[in-house]
Amino acid sequence: MHTSTEHDLIRAAKDGYARQYGAAPEVVRFAPGRVNLLGEHTDYNGGFVLPMPLGLGVAIALGRGGAPGELRITSGEFEGEALRRASETATGAWSDYVLGGLKALVEDELAQTGLMVFVDGNLPVGAGLSSSAAVEVCTIRAAAELFGRNVDPVDLAVMARKVENDFVGMPCGIMDQFSISVGAPGSALFLDTRTLEHHPAPLPDGYNFLVIHSGVSHQLTDSGYATRVAECKAACAALGVEMLSDLTVDDLARIDAIAEPLNRRARHIVTDNRLTREGLAALEAGDAEAFGRLMIESHATERDNYEITVPETDAQVEAAVALGALGARQTGGGFGGAIVVLVAEAEVERFCNEFQDRFPATRVLAGI
Ligand code: GLA
């Protein structure tokens, strides 16, 4: 399990910056990754989500210097320094998330100054834990501090999502940026993605949510995610609604009558919306067993209706439950990545040993 904390990452980013650029950074900021507990792919359908921030994350060190409009961007995780210009568009490189975040907040200032950026982090890429959103939010946080801008966390989330949609070109919803910017460690965040109404939800005492990398990495800019977004639009047209969250499980007969696979895509959205609402109630009641059952149901609809799971995560979720977990499901954008498992605290060690014996390619990343 990773043990680096926010404090360790901030230090690593500071040291990395000093090594790379031969000076101390002017500001260093942290942003966590997130794990989603319930409500998958509901966010671009105006639905409900229930994510929580992780201890894992990214830290970004920033300082002014160099020619106006020139950005030097280095990462402790990837080789080499990226030299970008503030006038550039996205190229598909990891540094796009930094460049996009900077342009979103301080495009005018970048014409006056150069910037040096060092990024460090411990969020595995392609694990469904929002490493890209963490970089976007962290970049904007650091730039806001450096240039003396006061940005409200909700506005920051909206801005970071725009970076992903309009600059990077990934048609995601707002869950990741919102939970990273607004969420607080130690609790889940219930969010209505249509109204942006949100409030914290308590985690059950005596239980841990384990975040386990399945060993299969995804690439959300591959076509799978965008295909689902397009299918939801087509399902809306077939059903005569603006957003799939205009419908509920009471509309399932109507939903089932439209063409395959659009009917199952819509069935997933209304089902996961129901499960997320029920999940909030279970957390508020401190009912871990009920929450676990909802996680299992959510994995089934991800697998059967939305078809975003892979054989490895299906097998791991099934095995986790057989090994005594209260619930388990694939989390995040899908097509692999991480699973999240709810286990009684007293069982965590035994569970992890038995699970990893059975699936040696998996990695327990966090326990909350
Ligand atoms: C990715 C996207 C989010 C959300 C999830 C799936 O993480 O960035 O907006 O759609 O997938 O729930």
Residue nearest to atom 7 of ligand 1 (CA): 333
Residue 220 has a pLDDT of 57
Calpha distance 339→45 (Å, rounded): 22
Q: Is 228 in the pocket of ligand 1 (CB under 6 A)?
A: no
Is any atom of ligand 1 closer than 6 Å to the C-beta of 232?
Answer: no
Q: According to the model, what pLDDT value does residue 80 have?
A: 83
Q: What is the pLDDT of residues 173-185, one digit of tens each?
A: 999 999 999 999 9
Q: Which of 26-40, 150-164, 216-230 shows the lowest mean pLDDT across its residues?
A: 216-230
CA end-to-end span of the chain, whole Å?
12
pLDDT of 177: 98
Look at the block and give the residue holding tokens 């801008």. Answer: 149
Q: How far is the CA of 44 from the centre of ligand 1 (A)?
A: 8
Q: For position 221, what pLDDT does the model report?
A: 53
Centre of ligand 1 from the C-alpha of residue 290, in Å: 24
Q: Which amino acid is at 118?
A: F
Helices (H) and strands (E) in the chain, counts: 11, 12
Which of ligand 1's atoms lies nearest the C-alpha of 44? 10
With cut-offs at 50, 70 and 90, classify the pLDDT of residue 21: very high
Whether 33 lines ligand 1, by a CB cut-off of 6 Å, is no
The stretches of the chain forming alpha helices (DSSP H) are: 6-21, 96-110, 131-146, 153-162, 175-182, 223-239, 252-256, 262-284, 288-301, 311-322, 348-358
- In this prediction, residue 2 has a pLDDT band, given cuts at 50, 70 and 90, of very low
pLDDT of residue 9 exceeding 90? yes
| CA dihedral (121, 122, 126, 128) positive or negative | negative
Residue 141 has pLDDT above 90, yes or no: yes
Share of the chain above pLDDT 70, in %: 98
Q: Please tell me the predicted confidence (pLDDT) of residue 1.
A: 46
pLDDT of the residue at 41: 98
Phi, psi of 240 (to 5 degrees): 70, 35
What is the value of pTM for the model shown? 0.95
Rounded CA-CA distance 231/226 in Å is 9
> 194 C-alpha vs ligand 1 centroid, how far in Å?
15
Top-confidence residue, 4 or 265: 265
By most ligand atoms within 8 Å of CB, the mutation choice from 35, 37, 41, 135 for ligand 1 is: 41
Q: Is the CB of 25 under 6 A from ligand 1?
A: no
pLDDT of residue 126: 83
Give 49 Cα–ligand 1 centroid separation in angstroms.
10
The interaxial angle of helices 153-162 and 175-182, nearest 10 deg, is 150
240 token code pair: 């005569």
Please tell me if the CB atom of residue 52 comes closer than 6 angstroms to any atom of ligand 1. Answer: no
- pLDDT at position 222 over 90: no
Residue 355's φ and ψ, nearest 5 degrees, are -65, -45
pLDDT tens digits for 65-91? 999 999 999 998 877 899 999 999 999
Please compute the mean of the pLDDT values over residues 38-54 and round it to a whole number. Answer: 98
Taking the centre of ligand 1 as the mean of its atom positions, its distance from the CA of residue 19, in whole angstroms, is 35
Question: Taking residues 328-333, what's their average pLDDT?
Answer: 97
- Report the residue among 54, 132, 161, 172 best suited for mutation to probe ligand 1: largest number of ligand atoms under 8 A from its CB: 172
pLDDT of residue 125: 84
Going from the Cα of 333 to the center of ligand 1, the distance in angstroms, rounded, reads 5
Closest ligand 1 atom number to CA of residue 164:
8
Least confident of 31-45, 121-135, 215-229: 215-229
Contact in structure between 126 and 218 (CB atoms under 8 Å): yes
Number of Cβ within a 10 Å radius of residue 319: 16
Confidence of residue 4 (pLDDT cuts 50, 70, 90): low
Nearest Cα residue to atom 9 of ligand 1: 173
Mean pLDDT of 110-131: 93
Give the pLDDT score at 218. 73
Report whether residue 40 contacts ligand 1, using a CB cutoff of 6 Å. yes
The predicted-structure confidence for 190-219, as pLDDT tens digits, reads as follows 999 999 999 999 999 999 999 999 999 876
Which residues are part of the catalytic machinery?
176
Query: What's the average model confidence in pLDDT over 83-109?
Result: 96
pLDDT (0 to 100) of residue 79: 78
Residue 182 to residues 189, 268, 360, Cα–Cα distance (Å): 9, 26, 35
Asked whether residue 356 carries a pLDDT value surpassing 70, the answer given is: yes
Which residue from 123, 131, 175, 245 has its CB within 8 A of the most atoms of ligand 1, so it is best to mutate? 175
Cα of 344 from ligand 1 centre, angstroms: 27
- pLDDT reported for residue 204: 97
Measured CA to CA, the distance from residue 236 to residue 231 in angstroms comes to 9
Q: On the CB side of 355, how many CA atoms lie within 13 Å of its CA? A: 31
Residues 355-363 have a mean pLDDT of 97
CB of 63 shorter than 6 A to ligand 1: no
